[in-house]
A and B are shown apart, each in its own frame.
Chain A
Amino acid sequence: MAISPVSISNPTTGGGSILERRRWRFQMAWYFLVPALIVVCGVLVPLAYLFVRAFEADLDQLNTLVFRARNLRLLGNTLLLAGGVLVVGSLVAFPLAWLTTRSDIAGKRLLTLVGVLPLAVPGYVMAYVLLATTGLRGTLALLFDLNLPRLSGFTGALAAMSLTTYPYLFLNLRAALLGLDPSLEESARSLGCTEGQVFRRVVLPQLRPAFLSGALLVGLHVLGDFGVVSLMRFETFSYALYLQYTAAYDRIYAAWLALMLIGVTLCLLVAEARLLRGRLYHRAGTGMRRRARPTHLGRWRFPAYAFAAAIGVVSLIMPLLTLAHWMTRRNINEGWSDLGAALWSSFSASAPAALLAATLALPLAYLGVRKPSPIARGLERISYLGYATPPLAFALALIFFTLKAIPALYQTLLLLITAYTLHYLAEAIGPVRSALYQTSPRLQEAARSLGWTPLRAFFKATFPLLRRGLVVSMAFVFLSAMKELPLTFLLSPIGFETLAMGTWGFANEGLFGAAAPYALLTMLFSGAFTALLLVNERHTGA
């Protein structure tokens, strides 16, 4: 699959060498056992506590909590938003991917950037930008005298989520289109299909796995999102969870909301796996792969340019213009020390999390690649579960768990770091795993036969070759944590404010000027993450 730091649907599997079928012995050295236990306890135990809390209610209470009409409305809204974002995202991503791969349009590189760069805008920043652009006090009204109704609710959430998640679809579709074998289409033509029939019967079915992979990422983003729906005041499970937790403080209902949200997420994962089953097509023939002949756009190129320009303006230029505008309208001398403090807060939680995640990822990736076993696969799945669990639900689970088991940990920086680590562990495993696949297991065997014990043989023969992968792992986790909002929101110590919280907090109160520098800094880190993702993708050739 193409882009995403974590491939959730199909974790890479190795070649089928004899060694990998080696029967697994139950002997686990401490350097595998400790990380394994941390991951299992860190992810599964808190989730189990959600259930414990949820079923503390008596039957009557359960009836009113679970079967109230509001839950149905929340479910409807959540699914409506996910579906809507998928539709809008597809309407943007499909044409853009086709134009950059199969047409003779000029400036394909620029168009590709339009398809990719919105990854650098966190959803809550886009929501803030939309709020600060539209309406009577918005940039459009102030600068161009253009009075659009202020975006909010469903349309606002739909716009913000679609504009920031369509790159997941775009990148997957683009990679799939580039990978298609044109001779399949040519054979279909020679078998009597028209161009339209070829597209429907040959091209579209082959794009399906890529589309599903992208759709899964979009779905997980929508379900996990908290910043956009809270700023747009659109009642999904996440938003209700947040209201419940901050305002009403009914923990049992909050636990139920979290469980329902996790349930929806699981349905999504299962549905994707079902739909993908047996659909990972491979090219059967050998021979040279040719590029498909680009379609001549002719007069259609003007609407094509207009379309691409509109997307670029709305998803990239508008956020930058709005941020620049609000930067100039704020009091220049105010709030710099707060901004510095927020930057430091973000850093002090993200950097240790990055280090910790890479440290855990190394033994887990090693187990998965070199000692494949049901246990190794199980650990991998658990790390994906930590990634796929909506962050608000995960944070709530951690709160219940610490309050009950280790109250001293509640509202400490350590808990926040732990949450980042467990949530982003899957992002850290990927690069280490690819690096491991590129080093021969013979190196370590050679070191063993030259007299080194297993651990020292690893550090002398294999570890030096994994450095790049480890650095990429750390960078992924660091940059992800720098822009993280919902986990931070629920788990940070009192008085602790990060860049993301600053952006969200000021935007939530309508203080667009005050929010601008926070949003800009967040976008900087987010942009670095995107650049790293793309460079790494090219490097590993995934």
Chain B
Amino acid sequence: MSNILSIQGLTKRFVAGAPPVVDEVSFTVGNGEIVALLGPSGCGKTTTLRLIAGFEHADAGTVTVGGRLLTGPSIHVPPEARGVGVVFQDYALFPHLSVLENVLFGLQRLPRSQRVARAREALKLVGLSGYENRKPHELSGGQQQRVAIARTLAPMPQLVLLDEPFSNLDALLRQATRQEIRTVLKEAGLSALLVTHDQEEALSFADRVGVMRAGRIEQVGTSEEVYYQPRTLFVAQFLGRTNLILSRAAGDTAETPLGRIGLNRPAAGDVLLALRPEHLTLEAPDSASGCRGRVVGREFKGHDITFRVELNGAEYLVHTDNLVPYQPGDLVSVRPLAPAVVLENRTGEGVTASGAAPQLTVPVAEQ
């Protein structure tokens, strides 16, 4: 799979002397691939997108699309000459133009005779045939969103950039639209880069996810990789609730309050481990391993149960199916179902105690 987008060491400062907003970011998007940049607000993901679109000038680094160098040392191809489509968070539909005119807007390079046919084709793709003469304000939020997609797809860009495109939709509509748009992109064989602060959106929409923090990319991988094998504490916490365990590792296993458990990769010395609550289960107390905990909370949610278990003075979250029978007060042992994930040792992330770590709070709205 060849790369449609390749970014190397991209760096951007808004204020001279201040830390960069985008700090030596490198990643690729393969042909026909959908990649998501995920991170909290202010992490630099939208700026990265704007650098790729050409709206901002990079201080260093390169952007290559389809083998063509668009941003590099003393090179800045203007946005209109990049062949990169952008879908904006607020859609940016031209309020003075009809739906059809909006979609025609980017087709000026096409022979006049083909323009309308192409625009209608794009509208049909997003299921808006028959809405050609409406004005944007006469459409619902979801329809406006789809016009924006059609407008971006009509000129057949090599790469589509999506800036939080679903954040203005209500929760129910969001999920359906997400699947629809993903299908449209995949059917058209388009490559896309999505920017979002919503982990569920990133995981379900993209083939690969890049997690950003403070201008840097912490990890890039498939949705499963970043969720199950987070490299850093930040990635582990940003993607969901997790249990953190301070332990002493030796080779493939580590000594922990839960007993001796397997690791995802060999390590030595004091390491921080992460275990997702759904990778733990409860069993009858096991006197052999010395792992003995007490159920202190039980949250029955129908299809599954979340237990809080106190063990060695720390509290762990355990996410089980609804057949596990324990009640608060019961003595249990906690058994991992998968190897624990060894997190990279990063300075500045002082974790002093084992136990359940909350998911990092995600602000409701970006920007």
Q: Is the CB of B92 within 8 A of A445?
A: yes
Instruction: Indicate if the CB atoms of B96 and A449 lie closer than 8 Å.
Output: no
The yes or no answer to B300 lying at the interface (CB within 8 A) is: no
A451 within 8 A of B: yes
Q: Which of B21, B53, B90, B94 contacts A461 (CB 8 A)?
A: B94
Are A449 and B14 neighbours in the complex by a CB distance under 8 Å? Answer: no
Is A442 interfacial (CB-CB < 8 Å)?
yes
> Contact at B79–A464, with CB atoms within 8 Å?
no
Inter-chain contact A465/B80, CB cutoff 8 Å:
no
Choose from B55, B57, B92, B108 the contact partner of A451 (Cβ within 8 Å): B108
Cβ-defined contact, A450 with B47, below 8 A: no
A452→B80 contact, CB < 8 A: yes
| Interface check B106, CB cutoff 8 A | yes
Which of A16-24, A142-150, A366-374 forms part of the interface with chain B?
A16-24
Residues of chain B within 8 A (CB-CB) of A465 are: 95-96
From A21, A440, A453, B80 is in contact (CB under 8 Å) with: A453
A449 touches B47 (CB 8 A): no
Contact of A17 among B86, B88, B155, B367 (CB under 8 A): B367
Is B172 close to A, CB under 8 A?
A: no
Would A460 and B80 count as touching, CB distance under 8 A? no
Q: How far is the CA of A18 from the CA of B51 in the complex (A)?
A: 14
| A393 adjacent to chain B (CB < 8 Å) | no
Q: Is B365 an interface residue (CB 8 A)?
A: no
Interface 0/1 of A18-39, CB less than 8 Å to B: 1001110100000000000000
Contacts known (A18-B14, A23-B15, A453-B78); A448 close to B55, Cβ less than 8 A:
yes
Q: Are A446 and B92 in contact (CB under 8 A)?
A: yes
How distant is B78 from chain A, measured CB to nearest CB, in Å?
Answer: 7
If A18-B14, A18-B47 touch, whether A449 touches B80 (CB-CB below 8 Å) is yes
A52 part of interface (Cβ distance < 8 Å): no
Q: Which residues of A lie under 8 Å from residue B105 when comparing CB positions?
A: 447, 450, 460
B84 beta carbon closer than 8 Å to chain A? yes
A409 interface residue (CB < 8 Å to B): no
Q: With a CB–CB cut-off of 8 A, which chain A residues contact B155?
A: 450-451
Chain B neighbourhood of A442, CB < 8 A: 88-90, 92
Q: Is A443 an interface residue when CB atoms closer than 8 A count as contact?
A: yes
- Give the chain A neighbours of B323 by CB distance below 8 A: none
Q: Is A457 close to B, CB under 8 A?
A: yes
Please give the distance in Å from A466's CB to the nearest CB on chain B. Answer: 11
Decide if A445 touches B53 in the complex (CB within 8 Å).
yes
Q: Is B24 an interface residue (CB 8 A)?
A: no
User: What's the Cα separation between A232 and B21 when bound, in Å?
Assistant: 64
Contacting B at CB under 8 A, from A421-474, are 440, 442-443, 445-454, 457, 460-461, 464-465
Does B1 count as interface, using CB distance less than 8 angstroms? no
The contact of B82 among A21, A449, A461, by CB within 8 Å, is A449
Contact of A22 among B14, B92, B151 (CB under 8 A): B14
Query: Quick check: is B16 within 8 A (CB to CB) of the other chain?
Result: yes
Q: What residues of A have a CB within 8 angstroms of the CB of B230 in the complex?
A: none
* Size bin of chain B's contact surface: 20 to 34
B 235-265 to A, binary, CB cutoff 8 A, 1 in contact else 0: 0000000000000000000000000000000
Whether, in the assembled complex, B112 has its beta carbon less than 8 Å from a beta carbon of chain A, the answer is: no
B277 adjacent to chain A (CB < 8 Å): no
CB-CB nearest in chain A for B83: A451
Contacts of B21 in A (CB 8 A): 18
**Is the CB–CB distance between B14 and A440 below 8 Å?**
no
Per-position 1/0 for A525-538, Cβ under 8 A of B: 00000000000000
Asked whether B78 lies within 8 Å of A449 as measured between CB atoms, the reply is: no
Most buried by B among A18, A447, A461: A18
B94: chain A residues at CB < 8 Å are 443, 446-447, 460-461, 464
Contact among A21, A25, A440, A451 for B90, CB-based, below 8 A:
A440
Q: Is B215 an interface residue (CB 8 A)?
A: no
- CB pair A451–B80 under 8 Å, yes or no, is yes
Q: Smallest Cβ distance from A176 to chain B, in angstroms?
A: 32
Name the B residues within 8 Å of A457 (CB-CB): 80
A25 pairs with B55, CB closer than 8 A: no
A448 and B79 contact, CB distance less than 8 A:
yes
A contact residues around B15 at 8 Å (CB): 21, 23
Taking a contact as CB atoms under 8 Å apart, the answer to whether B84 and A448 are in contact is no
Chain B residue numbers with a CB within 8 Å of A464 are: 94, 96
Q: Report how far A451 CA is from B110 CA in the complex, Å.
A: 11
Tell me the chain B residues, 54-107 only, with Cβ under 8 Å from chain A. 54-57, 78-82, 84-86, 88-90, 92, 94-96, 105-106
Let me know if B109 is at the binding interface, CB within 8 A.
yes
CA distance A447 to B89 in the complex (A): 15
Alpha-carbon gap, A452 to B333, bound state (A): 65
| B16 pairs with A23, CB closer than 8 A | yes
- B88 to A448, Cβ gap below 8 A? no
CA of A148 to CA of B16, assembled, Å: 71
* B55, B84, B90 — most chain A CB neighbours (10 Å): B55
Known contacts A440-B92, A442-B90, A460-B105; A448/B80 CB under 8 A:
yes
Among B21, B90, B96, the most chain A Cβ lie within 10 Å of the Cβ of: B96
Residue of B81, B86, B152 near A445 (CB, 8 A) is: B86
> In the bound complex, do residue A21 and residue B79 qualify as a contact, i.e. CB atoms below 8 Å apart?
no
How far, in angstroms, from A21 to B57 measured CA to CA in the complex?
A: 14
**Which residue, B15, B54, B80, has most C-beta atoms of chain A within 10 A?**
B80
- Distance in angstroms between the alpha carbons of A442 and B108 in the assembled complex: 20
Chain A residues within 8 Å of B53, by CB: 445, 449
Question: With a CB–CB cut-off of 8 A, which chain B residues contact A25?
Answer: 57
Q: Mark B332-367, 1 if CB is under 8 A from A, else 0.
A: 000000000000000000000000000000000001
Bound-state CA distance A17–B14 (Å) is 12
Closest to A447 in B: B105
Whether A446 and B86, one on each chain, are in contact in the complex, defined by CB atoms closer than 8 angstroms, is yes
- What residues of A have a CB within 8 angstroms of the CB of B54 in the complex? 448-449
Give the shortest distance, in Å, between A446 (CB) and chain B (any CB). Answer: 4
A252–chain B nearest beta-carbon distance, Å: 48
> In this complex, which of A22, A440, A449 has the most chain B Cβ atoms within 10 angstroms of its Cβ?
A449
Point out the residues of chain A lying under 8 angstroms from B367, CB to CB: 17
Are the CB atoms of A451 and B56 closer together than 8 Å?
no
Nearest-CB residue, chain A, relative to B44: A18
- B88-A21 in contact (CB<8A): no
Interface centre among A443, A446, A464 (most CB of B within 10 A): A446
Residues of the A chain whose Cβ atoms lie less than 8 Å from the Cβ of B13 = 23
Contacts of A22 in B (CB 8 A): 14, 56
- B152-165: CB near A (< 8 Å → 1, else 0) gives 10010000000000
Q: Which residues of B contact A454 (CB under 8 A)?
A: 78
A448 and B78 contacting across the interface, CB-CB below 8 Å: yes
Measured between beta carbons, the chain A residues less than 8 angstroms from B16 are: 23
Shortest Cβ distance from A462 into B: residue: B94
Max chain A CB contacts within 10 Å: which of B57, B78, B88, B92?
B92
CA distance A460 to B105 in the complex (A): 9
Q: How far is the CB of A445 from chain B (nearest CB, A)?
A: 5
Listed A/B pairs (17) with beta-carbon separation below 8 Å: A23-B14, A23-B15, A25-B57, A440-B92, A442-B90, A445-B53, A447-B105, A449-B79, A449-B85, A450-B105, A450-B152, A451-B108, A451-B109, A454-B78, A460-B105, A464-B94, A465-B95
- Nearest first, the 7 A-B pairs at minimum CB distance are A450-B106, A442-B92, A448-B79, A446-B92, A449-B86, A464-B96, A442-B88
Extra contacts besides A17-B367, A443-B94 (4): CB < 8 Å? A440-B92, A450-B80, A453-B78, A454-B78
Question: Which residues on B are within 8 Å of A, measured CB to CB?
Answer: 13-16, 21, 47, 53-57, 78-82, 84-86, 88-90, 92, 94-96, 105-106, 108-109, 151-152, 155, 367
